[in-house]
Amino acid sequence: MREELLAIIERNSRIDLKELAVILGVEEIDVVNELQALEDEGIVCGYHTMIDWEKTSIEKVSALIEVRVTPQRGQGFDNIAERIYKYPEVTSVYLISGGFDLLVTLEGKSLKEISGFVSDKLSTLDSVLSTATHFILKKYKDHGTILTKKYEDQREKVSP
Amino acid sequence: MKDMLSKQAVGLKPSGIRKFFDIVSEMEDALSLGVGEPDFDTPWHIRDEGIYSLEKGRTFYTSNSGLIELRQEICNYIKRKQGISYDPKHEVLITVGGSEAIDIGLRAVINPGDEVLIPQPSFVSYEPCAVMAGGVPVIIELKAENEFRLTAEELESAITDKTKILILPFPNNPTGAIMERKDLEAIAEVIRKHDILVMSDEIYSELTYKEKHVSIIEMEGMKERTILINGFSKAYAMTGWRLGYACGPREIMEQMVKLHQFAIMCAPTTSQYAAIEAIRNGDEDIKEMRTAYNQRRRYLLHAFQEMGLECFEPFGAFYVFPCIKEFGVTSEEFAERFLAEEKVAVVPGTAFGDCGEGYLRISYAYSLDNLKLAIGKLADFVEKLRREGKQA
């Protein structure tokens, strides 16, 4: 049940326990226990809400930053990654294979705020060799959800 | 002009679904549980392959039987699923949906007066196709107490010396019934004893929720006397691509290819290229869709239980077939009132044969959110009918 449960709540973390039990064909108590176990094991790390900020009047700017760094002896990339991810404006940090090392995503109120972060905080870290900042202009799809179009049932309403 | 029309065509009963379709399409805001096709889009990698084939200019006829690559893939697929080998050159034909295969399959084997055994409730095409092929449809009424499976006794008692072929429509539309190995073994024994043919319509074979689908061709001596029909519509959510196939003994397939060649030429080329991608790389898609259907199936059965609506547990396709006999109305009356009063469309069981009386076909090819909305209305309606019943 674990894989199926994870797939469901990854899409909809608000689904109620009773309904989860019904569609998984198990008892409600089993769902409760499994969810608890998933949280305890750190597999389920949070229940977030997907927001399309574009549709609000609140200004937000996000950017992807490619960062090349010098790994440190004994620490590899972990130390430098930690120094970066501790900034609250950083929304994710991934170690990446290929032409650069860390992919950092960043959310700020304005272009200025983000460029300020890159020039003042990120680039000045000792082990950072270079950065390349890409501003996100439009989100079409995020976390498996298409943001630009709503699902429309195009089928005939009755068919054999 | 007098006598303009074919008496045989005129004599065919129009599909019982048509009437509902006409009413529903007038209603802008009606919800529907009446659809017989997946709600998923065709997976993108399959659509992309179709687009690519157009870009490449693959816009010509294929061979009459269909692309040999696709036929080969179909044989690989059947070998993988059922462990049975077909010869892609002589024993496989790509058709315009499973529907065409039903039509030409019957026309290839029926002589005037031959009896065609049709278990019902079942898909709407078998009976008219049998008639147009010159056959005599003989209906076997499946029973709720057998979970709408076909039993050996029912089959045995329907066979006469005119019986030519049995249509085996499982997993079943509209009941959701399946046939398990033991059921098929019993059927196969009767078939062999009476030396008749089988047309096994397995279009829902990928959508079973108990054990893996079992085909009649796996039973001893059955491949030689079976026209196996399947297709891409339900498994890969490809209904609009109109692509199916038939596999069977070479002698029968030769006649089917001939009929197909004269009526159709070949199945749509774009669809055939897309289908190669589907059958090669579509297993994951099927798994995902099957999981979603199964969740909805459980949801519906639970909801029926809560509202006290009798329903056997179906293990196939994407339909449930609840019983509404307690309300003392016909299926059609129920469906008409439900549509008029709650604006939800369901299909009366009688659209799939007279023995569907007292049942409704409810499709779960809808998102859970949609189902919840419509089932909430069903619960209200059921309450209302019960209150009326008490007052009367």
Measured distance CA(B29)–CA(B31) in Å, rounded:
6
Asked, for residue B390, whether it belongs to a domain, the answer is no
Q: Of B234, B275, B261, give the one whose Cα is nearest residue B104.
A: B261
Asked, for residue B49, whether it belongs to a domain, the answer is no
One domain for residues B19 and B63? no
Q: Kindly list the residues from chain B whose CB atom is less than 8 angstroms away from the CB atom of residue A25.
A: 298
User: Please, where in chain A does CATH 1.10.10 lie?
Assistant: 2-40
DSSP 8-state secondary structure symbol assigned to residue A44: S
Taking an 8 Å cut-off on Cβ atoms, the answer to whether A25 and B298 are in contact is yes
- Split into its structural domains, chain B has a count of 2
Q: Which of A15, A158, A159 to mutate against chain B (most B CBs within 10 Å)?
A: A158
Q: Give just the sign of the alpha carbon dihedral A5, A32, B313, B304.
A: negative
Looking at the domain A53-138, which fold is it?
A: Alpha-Beta Plaits (3.30.70)
Residue A54 CA, distance from chain mean position: 17
Looking at the domain A2-40, which fold is it?
A: Arc Repressor Mutant, subunit A (1.10.10)
Beginning with the edge strand found earlier in the chain, give each strand of the sheet holding A61-69 in spatial order.
Answer: A90-95, A102-108, A61-69, A128-135
Q: Which of B255, B281, B307 delimits the end of a domain?
A: B281
Q: Which of B227, B259, B281 delimits the end of a domain?
A: B281
In which residue are the tokens 């029973």 written? B143
Mean pLDDT over B158-185 rounds to 98
A87 to chain B, closest Cα gap in Å:
38
One domain for residues B214 and B320? no
Closest partner CB to B35 (pick from A4, A19, A159): A159
CATH of the domain at B293: 3.90.1150.10
Residue range of the domain that includes B146? 59-281
b/e burial code for range A113-143 (CB count within 10 A of at least 16 → b): ebeebbeeebeeeebbeebebeeeeeeeeee
Measured distance CA(B304)–CA(B323) in Å, rounded:
10
Measured distance CA(A97)–CA(A46) in Å, rounded:
26
Mean pLDDT over B216-223 rounds to 98
Q: Kindly list the residues from chain A whose CB atom is less than 8 angstroms away from the CB atom of residue B298.
A: 22-25
One domain for residues B269 and B332? no
Tally Cβ neighbours within 10 Å of residue B254.
Answer: 13
Q: Kindly list the residues from chain A whose CB atom is less than 8 angstroms away from the CB atom of residue B124.
A: 160
Asked, for residue B269, whether it belongs to a domain, the answer is yes
Interface check for B39 against chain A (CB to CB < 8 A): the answer is: yes
One domain for residues B259 and B294? no
One domain for residues B21 and B145? no
One domain for residues B200 and B296? no
Q: Which of B246, B281, B316 delimits the end of a domain?
A: B281
8 Å CB contact between B71 and B275: no
CATH of the domain at B188: 3.40.640.10
Tally Cβ neighbours within 10 Å of residue A145.
Answer: 10
Q: pTM of this prediction? A: 0.94
Interface check for B304 against chain A (CB to CB < 8 A): the answer is: no
Tens-place pLDDT, residues B297-352: 999 999 999 999 999 999 999 999 999 999 999 999 999 999 999 999 999 999 99
Per-residue pLDDT in tens (0 to 9) along chain A, 160 residues? 899 999 999 999 999 999 999 999 999 999 999 999 999 999 999 999 999 998 999 999 999 999 999 988 888 899 999 999 999 999 999 999 999 999 999 999 999 999 999 999 999 999 999 999 999 999 999 988 888 888 889 998 999 9
Phi first, then psi: what are they for B136, rounded to 5°? -115, 110
* pLDDT of res. B18: 81
| Model confidence at B173: pLDDT above 80 | yes
Measured distance CA(B24)–CA(B335) in Å, rounded:
11
